[in-house]
Homo-oligomer: A and B are copies of this chain.
Amino acid sequence: MRTRITSEGELIERYLAPLARPLPGTLGLRDDAARLSPPPGYDLVISTDAVAEGVHFFADDDAAEIAWKALAVNVSDVIAKGAEPWCYQMALSFPEAPEHAWMAAFAAGLADAQSAFGITLSGGDTDRRSGPLSVTITAIGTVPTGRSITRSGAQAGDRLFVTGDLGASALGLRLRRDASLRTAWALTEADAASLLARYLRPQPPIAFVPVVRAFATASMDISDGLAQDLGKLCRESGVGARVEAERVPLSAAARRALDHDSPLIGAVLGGGDDYEVLLTIAPDTAAQFVEASRDVGVTVTDIGQINATRRVQIADSLGRELQLEQSGWEHFR
């Protein structure tokens, strides 16, 4: 199994075609294109994200984890728009022909993610070129016509909510780059492992889709950090927001790290790679929204309010505005 795959046909037939089987229109990936019938009465929500070695994952990461992350970050966008994941196209670029064992693990990771998110491979492309391994996915979701949620519907007075907890992935990435931080942050081995896992295995809340659709006035996923992504949502909605930093939900491990190194709040609010949903809720439906979220098993936290200022303010427990050093990921900086 340490032998390398010798043809694109073999790679597709053996490892990728089984992932496409549930959709007959993919023709076993043996044609130039998939032929898919969109369900009548639905819009398509389409999003593209690429992950590359050295940028979004490390060369020695497990192939199954790389596959999971590549698909999860795309599904995250679809979920945040209130759409059900449907199918995805995947372009794989290898610096050299992959080994069978690597490819088997990669396909297993995709199969896991497919079954977690209810999505099926519909086609793609593989090639070999110099440069990092990269996985580019275009995910397509379905949503009843006109019912998807954008970034632009937030109104002054809306409550601001996030799912899950934030910052674990950004802290996991720091730990990954500097293992000595575990001691500095006084983390147990289990704490450290939980943060590291969050970087590699984002869990966008698939069960949340109907709740997004029923309640959100605006919604997006948090991929570039709460501060930057909230800024985008406010810009598109023509509003501002005030976040109470102490209300931002943290995992137990992230909480312990912050207890030992309080400036880490900057990484939590600005680090990115969270893949949770950031959404705004009209105040008169907030109680019902919280209940509906509980019913589908998704934790939501009210972290602040939308206002008419056109500014994003993040306030500490004394009401002072936090100045973030790291205000989100920017590829071209």
A residues near B (Cβ < 8 Å) are: 4-8, 11, 25, 27, 30-38, 40, 43-50, 52, 54-55, 77-78, 80-81, 83, 89-91, 93, 97, 122-132, 134, 136, 138, 141, 143, 145, 148, 150-152, 220-221, 232, 236, 330-333
Task: Known contacts A8-B331, A331-B8; decide if A45 and B38 are in contact (CB<8 Å).
Answer: no
User: Which residues from chain B contact A45 at a C-beta distance below 8 Å?
Assistant: 33-35
Contact in complex: B8, A34 (CB < 8 Å): no
Nearest Cβ in chain B — how far from A170, in angstroms? 18
Given A52-B127, A91-B136, A136-B91, A31 and B150 contact (CB-CB distance below 8 Å): yes
Q: Is B8 touching A330 in the complex (CB atoms < 8 A)?
A: yes
Contact in complex: B333, A6 (CB < 8 Å): yes
Chain B nearest Cβ from A71, distance in angstroms: 14
Which of A81, A129, A151 is the most central at the interface, judged by chain B CB atoms within 10 Å of its CB? Answer: A129
CA distance A131 to B129 in the complex (A): 9
Main secondary structure of the interface of A (DSSP, over half): mixed
B89 touches A46 (CB 8 A): yes
What 6 pairs across the A-B complex have the smallest Cβ distances? A131-B131, A33-B47, A97-B332, A138-B138, A48-B89, A32-B77
Do B332 and A6 touch across chains, with their CB atoms under 8 A apart? yes
A221: contacting residue among B32, B34, B37, B89, CB under 8 A: B32
Q: Can you name 10 extra interface pairs (CB under 8 A) apart from A6-B333, A32-B221, A48-B91?
A: A7-B330, A31-B150, A33-B46, A35-B148, A35-B150, A38-B43, A55-B129, A126-B331, A128-B332, A130-B131
Assess A49 versus B125: contact at CB under 8 Å? Given A78-B33, A221-B32, A331-B8. yes
Residue of B nearest to A96 (CB): B332
Q: Do A132 and B129 have beta carbons less than 8 Å apart?
A: yes
Please tell me if the beta carbons of A127 and B50 are within 8 angstroms of each other in the complex: yes
In the complex, are the beta carbons of A36 and B30 less than 8 A apart?
no
30 examples of A-B residue contacts, CB within 8 angstroms: A6-B333, A7-B332, A8-B331, A27-B152, A30-B232, A31-B81, A31-B151, A31-B220, A32-B220, A33-B45, A33-B47, A33-B77, A33-B141, A34-B46, A35-B44, A35-B81, A35-B150, A46-B123, A48-B89, A48-B90, A48-B125, A50-B136, A52-B131, A55-B128, A55-B129, A91-B136, A91-B138, A93-B134, A126-B331, A131-B132
Residues on the B chain within 8 Å of A83, using CB = 33
Q: Which of B4, B81, B330 contacts A33 (CB 8 A)?
A: B81
Once bound together, how far apart are the Cα atoms of A13 and B152, in whole Å? 16
